[in-house]
Amino acid sequence: MKQDLMQYHTQYPSITDLKRKAKKRIPKFAFDYLEGGCNEEINLFKNESDFHQVTLMPQYLKKYQGVDMSTELFGHRYDAPVGISPIGLQGLIWPNAPEILAKAALTHNIPFILSTVSTSSIERIATVSEGKFWFQLYHPAEKEVLDDILNRLQATGCQVLVVLVDVPSFGFRYREIKAGLSMPPKMNLNNVFQAAIRPEWSIRTLKHGIPAFATLQKYMDKSLNMAQLGQFMNATFDKRVDMDKIAAIRNKWKGKLVLKGIVSEQDIQKAIELGADGVIVSNHGGRQIDAGESSIKSLIRLKQYGEKIKIMIDGGIRSGPDIGRSLACGADFTFAGRPFMYGVSALGNEGGNHTIALLKSQFKQVMEQLCCEKVTDLRETLISVP
């Protein structure tokens, strides 16, 4: 029997419900890692609140033939215009989270992006997703590592390569610093206590094994202690990405190429010049520059380039109306990070399916209410922006 892909648990009809439940199920250090932004968390706040100022207008008397949420992107027709953003150290937040989400994304036919520093490997995610996954690359410092990762992606059939450009320095994140969670993770006494009072998380973590950077393990000396792991991360990745580095990747990578973290006109013009296929307008979920603007405001400035390159957005999307608002403001596609991790932390194996079904159901209702048949019709509904 075909599973009803719109079915969600009625106890958790909003992302806020999932977040509340997640907070009770995972240790405080893991929740702070997931939830936090940088500095005073102003940009984190604006990512959500600026969405509330985008308003849309229905046309009730329009002839209406029914809703079609499916969206074509890079030669694939997805069931809905929403995907799962890359999150590092996912297995620290909930054991096995990357696989739970990759499987749910496959079931629902939406994109899942694996982070370079996630806790499942490229090969494992390729298997569970039947080759239907995207990969987010932190630019390796060594050419051999870069070439090897690109070869692994090619061999496993990765659909889209997403190069991250918005981490030239590590964000100043108070919550992570206090929790001892600046890369690499440290388990101090306080964190051990926080884990002990979340027994289900602790038992599952013990069963699943201490989370590690699975994709990168083959480049690491097995005997690295935690402090050396930090040095490895710093030595392995070029934080700053430039035109030459991206041009070299564009030359080698024959698949679709997306730059993530684009917020300026200058950078989107360079992305077009470099032959990138798309950009994700993103401020890393408010984790890098507190003085920055919200993602939705950046999108509104950059939508003029939509004829030349696919424009996607993430940051602050918490509902079906937010997906609708993004498309109305010119996005071709949307992504979300924290909402899916709240879902998995709250509901374990069921969390991926639940969160996707919930966002799809909410978005479908928005389209029906606004009398939009196709996702591109949303552009005609925009009344006001922040």
Ligand X SMILES: Cc1cc2nc3c(=O)[nH]c(=O)nc-3n(C[C@H](O)[C@H](O)[C@H](O)COP(=O)(O)O)c2cc1C
Binding site for ligand X (CB under 6 A): 33-34, 47, 85-88, 115, 117, 136, 164, 260, 282, 284-285, 287, 314-317, 336-338
Sign of CA dihedral 293, 299, 300, 303: positive
Separation between Cα atoms, residue 256 and residue 248, nearest integer Å: 14
* CA 112 to chain CA mean position, Å: 8
Contact by Cβ (8 Å): 323, 51: no
Min CB(41)–ligand X separation in Å = 12
Min CB(151)–ligand X separation in Å = 21
Min CB(384)–ligand X separation in Å = 22
Contact by Cβ (8 Å): 333, 363: no
Q: Which residues of 203-222 are buried (b: 16+ CB within 10 A; e: fewer)?
A: eebeeeeebbbbbbeeeeee
Environment class of 100 (CB within 10 Å of its CB; exposed 0-12, middle 13-18, buried 19+): buried
User: Which lies closer to ligand X via its Cβ, residue 1 or residue 291?
Assistant: 291
- Identify the three-state secondary structure at position 62: coil
Tokens of 325: 């608002």
User: Which lies closer to ligand X via its Cβ, residue 19 or residue 108?
Assistant: 19
User: Which lies closer to ligand X via its Cβ, residue 103 or residue 175?
Assistant: 175
Min CB(62)–ligand X separation in Å = 32
284 is catalytic: yes
User: Which lies closer to ligand X via its Cβ, residue 8 or residue 33?
Assistant: 33
Q: Which residue is nearest to ligand X (CB)?
A: 337
Min CB(317)–ligand X separation in Å = 6
Q: Which of 9, 52, 108, 284 is the catalytic position?
A: 284
User: Which lies closer to ligand X via its Cβ, residue 268 or residue 371?
Assistant: 268
- How many C-beta neighbours within 10 Å does residue 128 have? 18
Task: Say which residues have a Cβ less than 8 Å from residue 158's Cβ, sequence separation at least 6.
Answer: 122, 126, 131, 133, 134, 135, 255
User: Which residue numbers are catalytic?
Assistant: 284
